[in-house]
Amino acid sequence: MVQESETIWMDGKLVPWGEANVHVLTHALHYGTGVFEGIRAYECNDGTSEVFRLREHMVRLVDSAKILGFAAPYTADEMVEATVETLKANKLKGAYIRPLVFVGAGVMGVHPGDNPIKTCITAWHWGAYLGEDALEKGIRVKVSTYNRHHVNVMMTKSKACGNYVNSVLAKMEAIRDGYAEAILLDTSGHVSEGSGENLFMVKQDVLYTPPLSGVLGGLTRDSIISLANDTGYEVRETTIGRDMLYTADEVFFTGTAAELTPIREIDARVIGEGKAGPVTKLLQTEFFKILKGDNPDYEHWLHRYEA
């Protein structure tokens, strides 16, 4: 269950959590015409707090709306300010943050007409997305029977609400079959991503990850590529077959919610030693140092605030 905060930012003002409502004929509710971001705030070891790559998330949110053909009512900078306002109002030193821009109620039909474009930002306390033990022990995943969207079927570079029905189906299938998460292949049969995560594999100390042409370019993905390069590892963006995953030394997911989560098993094949491998552990440790404000080289990724 979501741990309720006191207020939610809606269309320029803070409203009580229980009053942040929309009409049942909201266009996005029926047709998925909304875009969103997942963002994290962390309490740092020096007592301050930070939101990780906040402005870049908001720029992507505005771009996602543009891809779907409507304009976000607020600029990226205005939503950055609104996010900090929301965190402070709810006294959240660390949080998961969900901004949402969506087509509201008005015309009811596939074409949204001149329906109003609504915006909300919600923040709440949230723990480990895939479980408290997942970051250390790793998770079991399966290759889904569902493919990721073809680039000419959906707008795959927009973080659109409707796109995630594909993710919901894959995730439900994985849970039903006894796994924690799914890996989706693209329509050519190559590895794409998880239901809400990007994927990396390690083979002989080289990192491999699917190219941007076949995945949503995650900001955590981008961060890990930079961190790996700075740490001395080579990263290759290339097509990956599922058989390459089975014989990898290490495999892990990245994402705002998943952070950096090891994968210990895929389709009943144990990956490496069946736990977080040395490269995964190193990157995980260094990544969390950044998130906790302990590496000044990456300070530009942190939007500091005091709750």
Tens digit of each residue's pLDDT (9 = 90 or more) over 86-141: 999 999 999 999 999 999 999 999 999 999 999 999 999 987 667 678 888 999 99
Average pLDDT over residues 139-161: 95
Write out the two tokens for 277.
């491998």
Write out the two tokens for 232.
């001395």
| Separation of alpha carbons 256 and 201, rounded Å | 18
pTM: 0.95
- Catalytic one of 159, 171, 203, 281: 159
User: 12-51 pLDDT, tens per residue?
Assistant: 999 999 999 999 999 999 999 999 999 999 999 999 999 9
| Separation of alpha carbons 276 and 116, rounded Å | 47
- Report the percentage of the chain scoring pLDDT > 70: 99
Please choose, from the candidates 233, 226, 231, the residue with its C-alpha nearest in 3D space to the C-alpha of residue 207: 233
Question: Active site includes 142?
Answer: no
- 77, amino acid identity: D
* Helices and strands (DSSP H and E) totals, the chain: 8, 17
| Separation of alpha carbons 117 and 61, rounded Å | 13
